[in-house]
Structures are given as C-alpha cells and as structure tokens.
Structure 1
Amino acid sequence: MDRLSLRSNLEKYRTPFEEEKSFVKDFIQLTFDDNAFVRERLEGHFTGSAWIVNKLRTHALLTHHKKLNKWLQLGGHADGNENLLEVALEEAREESGLTSLRIVDPGIFDIDRHVIPQKGGVPEHFHYDVRFLIEAEMNEPLVISEESNDLAWISFDAIQDLVGPNPSILRMLEKTSKSEILL
C-alpha cells in the first residue's frame, strides 16, 4: 500500500464512529504532502500500527509505552516508508518479538489522529495513525523492546480497566468484538 493506494483506501474508508469520520479528510489531505511519511514533518506525520489479537478474538496484545506512559497498540513512525501496512508489521515484530503475525485484512482497520506531547527538542505534534488488524499466537514468547515498560496479552474484558477512557483503543476493541466476519 503506497501513497496512492493509501489515498484511495482513505477515500473509500467508511466508519460508524463520528470521531474517525471527523478526520478522514485530514488524512487524505496529508497524503499530498511529500514529507507526510517522515517524522521530521513537525506539524504531524503518518504512523502505522498493528491491533494484534489472538485467533479466538478474546485478547489483544498491548504495550506499556515508555515515553507516553500508557498502554497502547504496537506501532511507530513510517520513517519514509509509504507502505503503512509494512510499517505496522515491522513495528509489531520489533516491539514484540513475535514471528507468528498474520494479516487478517490488508485494508485499513482504524485511523486515529492524536497529539504527541513535546519531548526534548521535538515540539508537540500530531500522529496520523493508520491501523491494521493483525493476528498472532498467544503461546509465542514475547520480547519487550527498549521502547516499552511492559508487553502483555490483555483479555478484551480487562482492556477498558487498563486503558481507561481512551476512545482510540476502545474503538478498536469495539470493532473487533462486533466483527463476526473476521473469525
């Protein structure tokens, strides 16, 4: 999925969630910027994430992010790679050590625009995060990366208690829980 495919997929993207609907146009507009896939674009840039679930759709793999001090899905900066599915898979491998990752659907699963706070010389900016649904085996050993404090398979029933009122995570959880065609 290169820049043109991403733009096309975003133009076709439909969601029942008002928050997502509110920023689809901003994502599309960003695809026209030559620097949209590099972190040096300080107003905001694309990132790719993996919402990793087990085959039975009872657990999701979350990481406790060191810099943000929050439980989140795995993912990261595109660093020039316009194929955000590749970015999401690579970040998932790097941040978890998992080798059993399987793409459930190569299409966009979720999008989210969120503020990243200022850190050192990097000003506050937006991440335009494109998420993909990925499946993995829960029995595979996990490897915690230096970007994380912890990494764990969290039961769908416990995710809200862990992440609190994080609409981004809760939206992906709801999408996964309601989708019967993904099994």
Structure 2
Amino acid sequence: MSLHADARAVLASWTAPDPAQEQLRRAYLDHLDRYPDALWRSCRPGHLTASAAVLDSSGRRTVLTLHRKIGLWLQLGGHCEPGDSSLAAAALREATEESGIPGLRLLPVPVRLDRHAVPCGGGSWHLDVQYAAIAPAGAEPVLDAAESDALAWFDVTALPEPSDDACRALVAAAVRAVRAAEGVR
C-alpha cells in the first residue's frame, strides 16, 4: 500500500473525538483526494505531516523539544519521507530520531489532528496527524543539536513555556490514550 493510500485509509477509519476533529478529518480526506502529492513538501497548499507525543508508561511525563526555528517547546514530528510505509511509521521515525530514544511503542491510531500555518515553501499548511508513543522504562532523551535547541522530560500537568495550544491539546489527548492503553488511572 502506498503512503497516500495508507493516509487515506487511516483517516477514513479514524473516529474523531469531537465535531471540530471530525471537520479536520474530512478536510484532510478532501485534501488527499485533491492532491496526489498531499504528503510531500511539494504540495504548496499544504501537506500531511506526522508527529507524536512521547510519554512515559505512566502517562505522567512527556518529552518535548525546543524547536530551533519556531522557538517553542513542541511534540516530536515532521515531514513524511519516501521510505515511510505509513503515517504511523513516519510518526515513529520522527519521534525516535528527534528524541534519541530507541524502542518507542506507538499506539496504533492517531489521537488527534492539527492544522497549522508553517513557512514551508514560502508559506503553507501542515495537516498534522498526531499519535501517542510510549517510551521504555528509564528512557532518557538524547539531544541532537541539529534537530533542536533542547530536549527534556516534563510533567504533563506543567508543560514549559513557550509552547502552544496545539501541543498542550496533543499531550492531553496522548495522556488519555496512553493511560487507557496501559490501564493506568
């Protein structure tokens, strides 16, 4: 299955948690139907990306990166690459590369969607498909200076500033998903 077909299948089968997320889900599907290059930077109206909130197994801590270009503490993620077999694979690859943590376990379905403006190609949109990943016990992030200015664990109830509402919403959704998957209250 192509990455495009995978993205369409993932979004077609995903159950949005609320009407705003359902509206985004439908917009993403329309975007995929309209643009054969919807997953690549070449798609100037916007392109799908994949990210993940990396949490510890208790769902109490998350790894965030201080994004070099934007200057905000954000989740891990980015552009799809030709070798990615699926959106989930892209999210896992990005989370692993940016966190330096081997052995991450990605929950199988997205936890939310977020559409945000970015400077790609002189101005575009990221249609981000967001997952939750669980780090192995005792995992410590390893900063790659080429990727970010800082990288650290944070309590999910005390995210650092500056951050943004989209990151906070993703972490909250990931906490719910990880706690449900791990049977943690």
Corresponding residue of 1:130: 129
Alignment of 1:94-133 (within 5 A): 94-103=97-106, 105-117=107-119, 122-133=121-132
Structure 1 unmatched ranges of 5 or more: none
Corresponding residue of 1:173: 171
* Separation in 1, partners of 2:172, 2:101: 24
* Separation in 1, partners of 2:20, 2:148: 28
Whichever residue aligns with residue 87 of structure 2, its letter is L
The 10-residue stretch of structure 1 (76-85 or 48-57) with the greater mean CA deviation from structure 2: 76-85
Identical residues among aligned pairs (%): 28
Corresponding residue of 1:142: 141
Aligned residue-pair number: 177
Contact 1:48–1:129 at 8 Å: present in 2 too? yes
Give deviations 1:140-177, integer Å, cap 9, x for gaps: 33221212010111101111x5355x332222233234
* Separation in 2, partners of 1:170, 1:59: 13
Structure 1 residue 128, shift from structure 2 partner: 0.8
The 10-residue stretch of structure 1 (41-50 or 12-21) with the greater mean CA deviation from structure 2: 12-21
Corresponding residue of 2:86: 83
Structure 1 residue 129, shift from structure 2 partner: 0.7
* Separation in 2, partners of 1:29, 1:174: 27
Contact 2:51–2:77 at 8 Å: present in 1 too? yes
The 10-residue stretch of structure 1 (145-154 or 133-142) with the greater mean CA deviation from structure 2: 133-142
TM-score, normalised relative to structure 2: 0.84
The 10-residue stretch of structure 1 (91-100 or 75-84) with the greater mean CA deviation from structure 2: 75-84
Corresponding residue of 2:46: 44
Whichever residue aligns with residue 115 of structure 2, its letter is R
Contact 2:111–2:174 at 8 Å: present in 1 too? no
SS across alignment from 1:144: coil
Contact 2:12–2:29 at 8 Å: present in 1 too? yes
SS across alignment from 1:162: coil
TM-score, normalised relative to structure 1: 0.85
Corresponding residue of 1:154: 154
Structure 1 residue 40, shift from structure 2 partner: 1.6
Give deviations 1:62-105, integer Å, cap 9, x for gaps: 111001111111001013446111111111121111102012x2
